[in-house]
Amino acid sequence: MPDPVDPAIVKKAEELRSALHRHNYRYYVLDDPEISDAEYDRLMQALIKLERDYPALVSPDSPTARVGAPPLAKFDTIAHTLPMLSLDNGFSDADILEFDNRVKRFLKTQEEIIYTAEPKMDGVAVELVYENGRLITGATRGDGRTGEVITANLRTIASVPFLIQTDYLPTIPSRLEVRGEVFIGIEVFQQLNQERVEQNLPPFANPRNAAAGSLRQLDSKITAQRPLEIFFYGVGIITDYAFHTHWALLQALKGWGFRINPLIRPQITIRQALEYYRALMAMRHSLSYDIDGMVIKVDSLPRQRQMGATTRSPRWAIAYKFQALQETTVLENIEVQVGRTGVLTPVACLRPVQVGGVVVSRATLHNEDEIAKKDIRIGDTVLVQRAGDVIPEVVKVVVSGRVGTEMQFKMPSNCPVCGSSVVRLEGEAATRCINSRCSAQIKERIKHFASKGAFDIDGLGDKLVDQLVGRGFLRSYADLFDLDEQTLAGLERMGPKSAANLKKALESSKSISWARFLYALGIRHVGEHVAALLASCFQNLEELMHCPAAELEAVEGVGPVVAESIVNFFNQESNRQAIKQLLAGGVQIELEASKKTGRLAGKVFVLTGTLQGFTRRQAQEMIAAAGGKVGGAVSRNTDFVVVGDSPGSKLDRARNLGVEIIDETMFREMLGLRPELPEKGG
């Protein structure tokens, strides 16, 4: 047992920690430091010496912990209580005015809507979870539903509070999920890149990539050496408080010690937001950090809840993007790629050019109609941009640069890979190879099957898939689990050790969740979100395979096109055989129902009408988190129908079938939530 530390020493350490936390808050959040940098450094050095001399004093909440923790072997993952959704984008004043009109139509009002406008940080979104005022977990946005746990790395950021301040609001939430954007300043980014060049390391492409790379270091000591910063912009779950406006929430966050962007403009009209957009655009290049637009949010939180969200974006917010950086170059050729669904996609082969700090040599041309519409020809000088600052695309042709040798593009009448005929169905822009045995389609389906959101097979890269299909070892993804080590070891750049590792990865991937299995099948129009919806509404694979389109359409988020695609997929004998082969090969589907626990375990809920305390998405997520299931239509299998304001026909059907009907108060009680509290301090 170590000797007890003298109480006077303990008290001194506590005083130093308290002082440093307070000065961090005044420096990073209030921009109003009370002491000089030198005095701050003296306090920090005094605490470091105490903790070095008395190891029992070391605490994870100490300001000294920002130097980083020991390296991690890998990142764990964690589910966000509420999804971190993407934002819809606008690119013109007309787009923003139409957004304002949509808001008014949805809210059924002609009154002026009040918004809050925020600079759109070009950084990395994260979520930090505090319980009883103490930071317990930090994670990346990930896919919006599940993120990587990077708590140790986030602790190295000086403006991330370990403990919530109580000066502004003495009562702190028992749980606070606060969301922010991590970024790196432009000047320090340039310095970082200069250091990397001097160390013969490749430079980062842009500040956002540098921030993302820094956050995903397994060794948080490396992260601590990177000058990362953060602005906080909102919350997921917050208990004990019910704010009425987004601005009041931001003010509370600032009072609790979270750094809020000082350029946020609160409670303005849409016209004022457009004026501020131009002001932000003018100051864009004078800022010390990158922004790529402005976010406009409905300020009223009750109205935000009333509007809810689509499958990917909140209806109450939009990002007004700045014009993407553009460059001119020469389109030297057009190649045609074949995707997993047989779609032929023309791709521009460009003379390499830097666009926004990234060398671009290929760009999407979308489809034949797009090429004709823009009159794009091989040999043209073209204007290229990274659409949304991510995907390169050809914007337009510089017609004045034509010399007469340019050639028009024609979509091939046969698949460039397998030679089969291609078709273009009426009403579709896509041209498709109709040969499901086309090697290009097989390769892309296998790559999708093995991807991170699906079976996540470590070591099965694109080149290896190309080899396996090209040499006839794989004819579908169902053949993957029949591969043996001897076959794998005989491939290029493989050997006994690599083959054994891949075989081990294949075996370990056989146990998979119901939702990921559905996504892995590659059903057209069924992405990760729709797969999760289907998994929550259907007990097992057999039930889904025999479900008619009309019942599929009753699932919220599944429309006629998606329903027809699902039915067509399971009607194909080759797909049924592939599934049969997978199951025979040892694939184990972990059905959600079999492992659900919680106060709502096994219960099926249907929602109708507008809830006051939740958006529709929040209610669905909380039901799922408590072990329940959400149905899209009322049936005899429904246990409860939750009724909000202005309910639809689902209420009548519930009455006819004798299904139990509950209001929002009863629903909250079933979830174990306290009644909504009045706003505090807002």
The domain spans of the chain are 7-67, 89-321, 326-423, 439-509, 513-594, 598-671
For residues 367 and 60, give the distance between their C-alpha atoms in angstroms, rounded to a whole number: 54
Question: What whole-number distance in Å separates Cα of residue 542 and Cα of residue 466?
Answer: 32
Confidence of residue 31 (pLDDT cuts 50, 70, 90): very low
Give residue-wise pLDDT tens across range 406-458: 999 999 999 999 999 999 978 788 899 989 889 999 999 999 999 988 999 99
| Averaged pLDDT, 34-53 | 76
Report how far residue 450's alpha carbon sits from residue 296's, in angstroms, rounded to the nearest whole number.
38
| Rounded CA separation 571/549 (Å) | 12
Superfamily of 513-594 according to CATH = 5' to 3' exonuclease, C-terminal subdomain (1.10.150.20)
Q: What average pLDDT is seen over the chain? A: 87
Predicted confidence band of residue 595 (pLDDT cuts 50, 70, 90): very low
Tell the CATH superfamily of the 7-67 domain.
Helix hairpin bin (1.10.287.610)
More confident residue, 473 or 529: 473
Q: Residues 611, 305: contact at Cβ < 8 Å?
A: yes
Whether the Cβ atoms of residue 242 and residue 394 lie closer than 8 Å to each other: no
Question: Would you name the residues annotated as active-site residues?
Answer: 120
**What pLDDT is recorded for position 587?**
95
Which residues, including other chains, have CB under 8 Å from residue 599's CB and lie 6 or more apart? 626, 627, 670, 671, 672
Structure tokens of 376? Answer: 């794009």
CATH classification number, 326-423, choose in 3.20.20.70, 2.40.50.140, 2.60.40.10, 3.40.30.10:
2.40.50.140
Mean pLDDT of all residues in 137-155: 90
Joined together, the tokens standing for residue 146 give 């599940």
Which residue matches tokens 């079938």? 657
Please report, as a single letter, which amino acid is at residue 668. R
* Chain-centroid distance, C-alpha 450: 20
CATH superfamily name and code, 439-509: 5' to 3' exonuclease, C-terminal subdomain (1.10.150.20)
Q: Give the percent of the chain with pLDDT over 90.
A: 50
Homologous superfamily of 598-671 in CATH? BRCT domain (3.40.50.10190)
Equal CATH topology for 7-67 and 513-594:
no
3-class state of residue 678 by DSSP: coil
Q: Identify the helix (H) or strand (E) that includes residue 272.
A: helix 270-283
pLDDT interval class at 200 (50, 70, 90): confident
Contact at 8 Å (CB) between 213 and 240? Answer: no
Asked if CATH classification 1.10.30.50 holds for the domain at 89-321, the reply, yes or no, is no
Give the alpha-carbon dihedral of 405, 409, 412, 413, to 10 degrees: -100
d(CA 115, CA 297): 5
Q: Which amino acid is at 438?
A: C
Tokens found for residue 623: 């039901």
Separate counts of helices (H) and strands (E) for the chain: 25, 26
The helix, strand and coil proportions of the chain, stated in percent and rounded to the nearest 5, come to 40, 25, 40
Which is higher by pLDDT, 231 or 604? Answer: 231
pTM over 0.75: no
